[in-house]
Amino acid sequence: MKRVGIPRGLFFYYYYPLWKSFFVNLGAQVITSAPTNCLTVQQGIDSMVDESCFPIKVYFGHIKELCREPIDYLFVPRIVSVERRSYICPKFMGIPDMVRARIKDLPPLIDTIIDYSRDNKMMDNEILKAGKLFTSKISRIRDAYQAAYKELQFCKALAGQGYTMAEAINLWEGIPQPRFNCDTHLTVGLLGHGYSLYDQNISMNIIDRLRSMGCKVVLPEELDKQAIESRAALLPKRIFWTLGRKMVGSALYMAQSQDIDGIIYVACFGCGPDSMVGEIIERKIAGKPYMLITVDEHTGEAGLVTRLEAFCDMLKRRRIRNGADHFSPHG
Ligand code: SF4
């Protein structure tokens, strides 16, 4: 049985059920790296250039870990686009090349090009190309992909019920996840790239910290996709980054929601899209308390907790005074 390594980083949190099911349906065994820890981060920092954003460094740490495992292939897709007329950050396009350039003694890479920006024909060829590493039967590869896609839809449905994508993946893998029942008195909209929010090391476990402070956390995956798109379409120019548009649309949606007391955006230091998207959001949601938290490998836990506590205290006071003392810095 061939073994495929899948790093627990970047689009793992959006597509792992699809990728894993696809390879398993073709008779392979899938091995994932452990959840991000200090060693992962250090290995990533050591093997990636300083200028890179934090999630990319963490991804490299996961690859280093998998290189020590007995695997036959390492799945490092070249993600260009996951929908029409929209793109993913250019760093994703170069990842297989960066990995080959920076990490020695790599197993063979499966560097499937994921590009849905134009038509499905190219994707069809890429799926077949990856599948032929495991079987020569084209019908089996197509069936494997279709069945895997259903698994992904199942996980997304779970994420729509208030689970984070990380929790949904755990549930899908058969690991029970407790429902977080606390005496919620605040509702906070939390924005950021999934690979930052759902990686407990990168986000410093911000979701559970907010929950333990009595906040109900609303994530973009819980919101209606059409509603997000319609809010994002209110901007004078279309944002062509898929995740950036999702953040802006979600922020505008949350800003109009009476149920949401405040919005927190977790950005990554060194992230080009975040620097623009965060600024747009700040200017557009004038009526709602908003906090931008920038994370990197130097982020301190105490500083984060202090800011979260201060933000929650401010939301509570604002609720008591019915928002009368809120003045947006952008008017
Ligand atoms: S969008 Fe930002 S955080 Fe994500 S890979 Fe690109 S630069 Fe890094």
Q: How many CB atoms lie within 10 A of CB 61?
A: 28
CA of 273 to the centre of ligand 1 (A): 7
Q: Closest ligand 1 atom to the C-alpha of 241?
A: 1
189 and 297 belong to one structural domain: yes
Residue 75, strand partner residues: 110
CA of 269 to the centre of ligand 1 (A): 9
Position 272 scores a pLDDT of: 86
Tokens for 167, please give them: 């929790």
129 and 275 belong to one structural domain: no
Look up the pTM and report it: 0.91
Whether the predicted pLDDT of 183 surpasses 70: no
Tokens for 25, please give them: 């349906």
155 and 230 belong to one structural domain: no
- H or E stretch at 268: strand 262-268
56 ligand 1 Cβ < 6 A = yes
Tokens for 39, please give them: 């060693």
314 and 203 belong to one structural domain: yes
Arithmetic mean of pLDDT, 1-18: 94
38 and 133 belong to one structural domain: yes
187 and 136 belong to one structural domain: no
214 and 253 belong to one structural domain: yes
160 ligand 1 Cβ < 6 A = no
**Closest C-alpha to 159, from 15, 9, 312, 265:** 15
Whether the predicted pLDDT of 329 surpasses 60: no
CATH label of the domain that carries residue 148 = 3.40.50
91 ligand 1 Cβ < 6 A = yes
Q: Using one digit for the tens of pLDDT, what is the confidence trace for 123-170?
A: 889 999 999 999 999 999 999 999 999 999 999 888 878 788 989 999
CA of 210 to the centre of ligand 1 (A): 24
In Å, how far are 158, 159, 194, 273, 282 from 13, measured between CA atoms? 13, 11, 6, 19, 26
Of the pLDDT bands very low, low, confident and very high (cuts 50, 70, 90), residue 288 is confident
53 ligand 1 Cβ < 6 A = yes
101 and 16 belong to one structural domain: yes
- Please, what is the average pLDDT of the chain? 90
What is the 3-state secondary structure of 69-80?
Answer: CCCCEEECCEEE
Domain-embedded: residue 165: no
Q: Closest ligand 1 atom to the C-alpha of 243?
A: 1
Domain count across the chain: 2
Q: What is the DSSP letter of 315?
A: H
Of the pLDDT bands very low, low, confident and very high (cuts 50, 70, 90), residue 328 is low
Residues 6+ apart with CB under 8 A from 91: 52, 53, 56
Q: Using one digit for the tens of pLDDT, what is the confidence trace for 211-253?
A: 989 899 999 988 888 999 999 999 988 888 999 999 999 999 9
With the most atoms of ligand 1 within 8 angstroms of its CB, the residue from 62, 193, 245 to mutate is 193
274 ligand 1 Cβ < 6 A = yes
The distance from CA 200 to its chain's CA centroid, rounded to whole angstroms, is 12
| Host domain of residue 114 | 3-159
Which residue did the predictor score with more confidence, 287 or 54? Answer: 54
133 and 8 belong to one structural domain: yes
Whether the predicted pLDDT of 11 surpasses 90: yes
Arithmetic mean of pLDDT, 196-222: 91
**Closest C-alpha to 221, from 160, 169, 170, 265:** 160
Q: Do residues 153 and 161 make contact, with C-beta atoms less than 8 angstroms apart?
A: no
Which residue did the predictor score with more confidence, 123 or 321? Answer: 123
CATH label of the domain that carries residue 284 = 3.40.50.11900
Q: Do residues 180 and 163 make contact, with C-beta atoms less than 8 angstroms apart?
A: no
Nearest C-alpha to atom 6 of ligand 1 is from which residue? 89
Q: Do residues 42 and 225 make contact, with C-beta atoms less than 8 angstroms apart?
A: no
With the most atoms of ligand 1 within 8 angstroms of its CB, the residue from 14, 48, 53 to mutate is 53
Q: How many CB atoms lie within 10 A of CB 245?
A: 21
Q: Which domain-ending residue is among 125, 159, 193?
A: 159
Region of 261 on the Ramachandran plot (φ > 0 left; ψ -120 to 50 alpha; else beta) = alpha
Arithmetic mean of pLDDT, 275-297: 88
- Among 9-13, 161-165, 172-176, 217-221, whose mean pLDDT is lowest? 161-165
Tokens for 285, please give them: 């949601």
135 and 238 belong to one structural domain: no
Q: Using one digit for the tens of pLDDT, what is the confidence trace for 258-282?
A: 889 999 999 998 888 888 888 899 8
The distance from CA 84 to its chain's CA centroid, rounded to whole angstroms, is 19
Domain-embedded: residue 327: no
Scanning 160-260, the segments in alpha helix (DSSP H) are 165-172, 194-197, 206-212, 225-232, 242-256
**Closest C-alpha to 262, from 281, 243, 241:** 281
Of the pLDDT bands very low, low, confident and very high (cuts 50, 70, 90), residue 109 is very high
Domain-embedded: residue 331: no
Position 273 scores a pLDDT of: 87
93 and 186 belong to one structural domain: no
Arithmetic mean of pLDDT, 61-67: 95
Q: What is the DSSP letter of 288?
A: S
Which residue did the predictor score with more confidence, 190 or 85? Answer: 190
Domain-embedded: residue 168: no
Domain-embedded: residue 328: no
